[in-house]
Amino acid sequence: MYKEKITRGSRPLILVTNDDGINARGIKTLAEFLMPLGDVVVVAPDGARSGQSAAITVKEPLRMAMVENREGYKALKTTGTPVDCVKLALNVLFADRPDLVVSGINHGSNSGVSVMYSGTMGAVFEGVVNGIPSIGFSLCSFDADADFSICSEVVETLCSRALKNGMPEGMGLNVNIPSTKHLAGMKVCRAARGRWTAEYDSRIDPMGRPYYWLTGYFDNAEPDAPDTDEYVMAHNYASVVPVTPDRSLSEIDPRVVEWMAL
Amino acid sequence: MYKEKITRGSRPLILVTNDDGINARGIKTLAEFLMPLGDVVVVAPDGARSGQSAAITVKEPLRMAMVENREGYKALKTTGTPVDCVKLALNVLFADRPDLVVSGINHGSNSGVSVMYSGTMGAVFEGVVNGIPSIGFSLCSFDADADFSICSEVVETLCSRALKNGMPEGMGLNVNIPSTKHLAGMKVCRAARGRWTAEYDSRIDPMGRPYYWLTGYFDNAEPDAPDTDEYVMAHNYASVVPVTPDRSLSEIDPRVVEWMAL
């Protein structure tokens, strides 16, 4: 459909997306950080798609339109989810496979169990399923004037490494960066276990009918575990959690065999 | 908000949801299969939410309304996603925790990598995160007159077992049932690796602008592996894949340590 499909030039080809939409500060900052590393193509939703997980658009057709096109940098908006953006880029837009998929920088944390609901990370899983090194970045701040500059070193270090060395098959990275003046570094860790709780604010509308706003807080089941993302972030480190799209329990977990035999 | 919250009676309390919507044949059949096992409460989307993965509704309030209420059976529709339905049930509707979350019966397969995009399975992961035994069922047919009766024995066997024995922590089940006249039984297995490919049908609208329909097919990377869901289904067995909401790679995969040291 795109008569002139995007091909890889002499530099690496980097696909950038997010779930906050193409006009978010986080994705603009991310693209700037990445431009020294390769040719950047942003394919992102035309508006906010927070909490979209790995949702795909199945019942409506999608649109995609170029909004910026200059040397080493292209930006396209779509009517879809973050996963739709990656799929459109790989299937419709690109003649060559990108060398790296980068998602974010998300406005707000995707640590702990939040990785499950995150549209930012949905895009990362889609990249991994397609065999492409993929990294999601989140800054743990919802402030309109959050300081994304503190993310630059982490983004450049991990993305350079992925471009240079590739990444183990089936693995992506979920990187969360605490909103702090003095980032101590980064640590590889795992997602803290826990769950969201007290999740709705129940209200009554002027017609007397109930409605429910999603709210609540993350109840960390292991606040003292030093190898978790929540813990390292509380100590001013960026958390680097290796993640996989594969949902199968390791094959086959003895607990399962036991359970099936009950 | 619900003045009379739902409590557990003398029988087990079973929460039922899906992603095809409250009026789908699959969820009505599933509720019928489950009524001999306990009190059934259906909390399901008011219309189709296919491909919604674990998406949550963050920017709009949700509505929930009772549509049926008789002895041992209640049904409520919501304006949300499958995960929203589980969250509303647990946070707003139920005074007691349900003993089991069952999702489906989905119209169409959720085998292989499709578990990632499935709203049916999104609801299952939400149940597991909340520590409740949770099972998703899918019938591998999109026919309007598909025969759901072939699912009855598998549904009853697995749900009875889960009610009797609980389930290992952090584990749910993704059950896919082939559309066949003679189901040979069920087998515990893992998701076949692979990816969807050739994913868009590109068209031009009457105004000359392009649009894209999601389509394509699952490219099974290991069609001959006898321990995969695709394989066992091709041999007329229902596939039972133990799944986990946890996306962290096993802690910490040596490949990751190696990669970080590069």
CB of B211 less than 8 A from some CB of A? yes
What local confidence, expressed as pLDDT, does residue B250 receive?
Answer: 66
* A222: Cα separation from own chain's centroid: 24
Q: Which helix (H) or strand (E) holds A32?
A: helix A25-34
State the angle between helix axes of A25-34 and A152-165 in degrees (0 to 180), rounded to the nearest 10: 50
Question: Cβ separation of B245 and A174 shorter than 8 Å?
Answer: no
**Does residue B128 sit within a domain?**
yes
Among B residues 43-102, those touching chain A with beta carbons less than 8 Å apart: 48, 50-59, 61-64, 83-84, 87-88, 90-92
Based on the structure, what is the number of domains in chain A?
A: 1
Cβ(A19)–Cβ(A83) below 8 Å: no
Flag whether residue B159 sits within 8 Å of chain A, measured between CB atoms.
no
Residue type, B79: T
Average pLDDT over residues A100-107: 97
Is residue B172 situated within a structural domain? yes
| H or E segment and range at residue A204 | strand A200-204
d(CA A53, CA B82): 12
A168: closest CA of chain B, how far (Å): 7
Quote the pLDDT of residue B84: 98
Residue in B with minimal Cα distance to A213: B61
Structure-token match 């949702």, residue found: A55
Q: How far apart are the C-alpha atoms of A186 and B42, rounded to whole Å?
A: 45
Query: Does the distance separating the beta carbons of B243 and A248 come in below 8 Å?
Result: yes
Mean pLDDT confidence for A117-127: 98
What distance in Å separates the CA atoms of residue B84 and residue B88, rounded to the nearest whole number?
A: 6
In which band, very low, low, confident or very high, does the pLDDT at A191 lie, cut at 50, 70 and 90?
A: very high
Q: Which of chain B's residues have a Cβ under 8 Å away from the Cβ of A158?
A: none
* A259 in contact with B, Cβ within 8 Å: yes
**Three-class SS state of A254:** helix
**B168 touches A: beta carbon within 8 Å:** yes
The Cα of A191 is separated from the nearest Cα of chain B by a number of Å equal to: 6
Considering only CB atoms, A188 lies closest to which of B53, B58, B252, namely B252
How much is the pLDDT for B248?
A: 83
**CATH code for position B256:** 3.40.1210.10
Q: What is the mean pLDDT of residues A2-10?
A: 85
Q: In terms of Cα–Cα distance, which of A9, A63, A19, A83 is closest to A41? A: A9
Amino acid at A7: T
Task: Count Cβ atoms below 10 Å from residue B162 Cβ, excluding itself.
Answer: 25
Q: Which amino acid type is present at position A72?
A: G
Q: How high is the pLDDT of residue A247?
A: 86
C-alpha distances in angstroms, B183 versus B39, B143, B175?
28, 18, 13
Percent of chain A with pLDDT over 90: 85
Reading chain B (262 residues) residue by residue, the pLDDT tens digits are 566 899 999 999 999 999 999 999 999 999 999 999 999 999 999 999 999 999 999 999 999 999 999 999 999 999 999 999 999 999 999 999 999 999 999 999 999 999 999 999 999 999 999 999 999 999 999 888 899 999 999 999 999 999 999 998 889 999 999 999 899 999 999 999 998 887 899 999 999 999 999 998 889 999 999 999 999 999 999 999 999 998 887 666 677 667 777 6
CB spacing of A164 vs B130 below 8 angstroms: no
Query: Which two three-digit tokens encode residue B147?
Result: 């025969």
Rounded CA-CA distance B3/B13 in Å is: 19
Q: Render the burial of A147-182: b for 16+ CB within 10 Å, e for the rest.
A: ebebbeebbeebbbbbbeeebbebbbbbbbbbbbee
CA-based nearest distance B69→chain A, Å: 18
Q: Is the Cβ of B187 closer than 8 Å to some Cβ of chain A?
A: no
Nearest to A139 by CA among A182, A177, A184, A185: A177
Quick check: A159 contacting B, CB < 8 Å? no
Output the DSSP codes for chain B.
--SS-B---SS-EEEEE-SS-TT-HHHHHHHHHHTTTSEEEEEEESS--TT-TT----SS-B-EEEEEEETTEEEEEESS-HHHHHHHIIIIIBSS--SEEEEEEEES---GGGGGT-HHHHHHHHHHHTT--EEEEEEE---TT--GGGGHHHHHHHHHHHHHH---TT-EEEEEEE--SS--EEEE-BPPPEEEES-EEEEE-TTS-EEEEE--EEEES-TT-TTBHHHHHHTTEEEEEEE-S--BPSTT-HHHHHHHT-
For A44-62, how does the pLDDT look when each residue is reduced to its tens digit (9 = 90+)? 999 999 999 999 999 999 9
- Give bridge partners of residue B45 from the DSSP assignment: B78
Phi, psi of B139 (to 5 degrees): -105, 125
Question: Is residue B197 in a domain?
Answer: no
Within a domain: residue B149? yes
Please indicate, yes or no, if residue B3 is contained in any of the structural domains. Answer: no
**Closest Cβ opposite residue B188 in set A84, A244, A252:** A252
- Phi then psi for residue A151, to 5 deg, are -85, -10
Q: What's the pLDDT at A142?
A: 85
Pairing of strands B73-78, B64-70: antiparallel
pLDDT band at residue A145 using 50, 70 and 90 as cut-offs: confident
Is residue A232 in a domain?
yes
Look at residue A1 and tell me whether its pLDDT is greater than 70: no
Q: What is the mean pLDDT of residues A114-127?
A: 97
pLDDT digits (tens, 9 = 90+) for A198-240: 789 999 999 999 999 999 888 999 999 999 999 999 999 999 9
Cα of A83 vs its chain's centroid, Å: 10
In a domain, A196, yes or no: no
Strands A185-188 and A237-243, sheet pairing: parallel
pLDDT at A72 over 90: yes
Tokens for A238, please give them.
């960026």
**Which pLDDT belongs to residue A253?**
65
Residue A237, SS3 per DSSP: strand
- The pLDDT, as a whole number, for residue A6 is 94
Alpha-carbon distance B176 to nearest alpha carbon in chain A (angstroms)? 14
The parent domain of residue A100 ranges over: 13-191+223-246
Q: What's the burial of A185, exposed, middle or buried (CB within 10 Å: 0-12/13-18/19+)? A: exposed
pLDDT attached to residue A44: 98
Q: Which residues of B touch A121 (CB under 8 A)?
A: 247
Cα–Cα distance between A155 and B42 in angstroms, integer? 45
- Residues of chain B with C-beta less than 8 angstroms from the C-beta of A136: none
Interface test with chain B among A249, A250, A257, by most B beta carbons within 10 Å: A249
On whether residue A8 sits in a domain, the answer given is: no
Task: Give residue B244's pLDDT.
Answer: 92
Report the predicted TM-score, pTM, of the whole model to 2 decimal places. Answer: 0.94
- How close B9 gets to chain A, by Cα (Å)? 24
* List of residues 6+ apart from A180 with CB closer than 8 A: A150, A236
Q: Which residues of B touch A117 (CB under 8 A)?
A: 54-56, 83
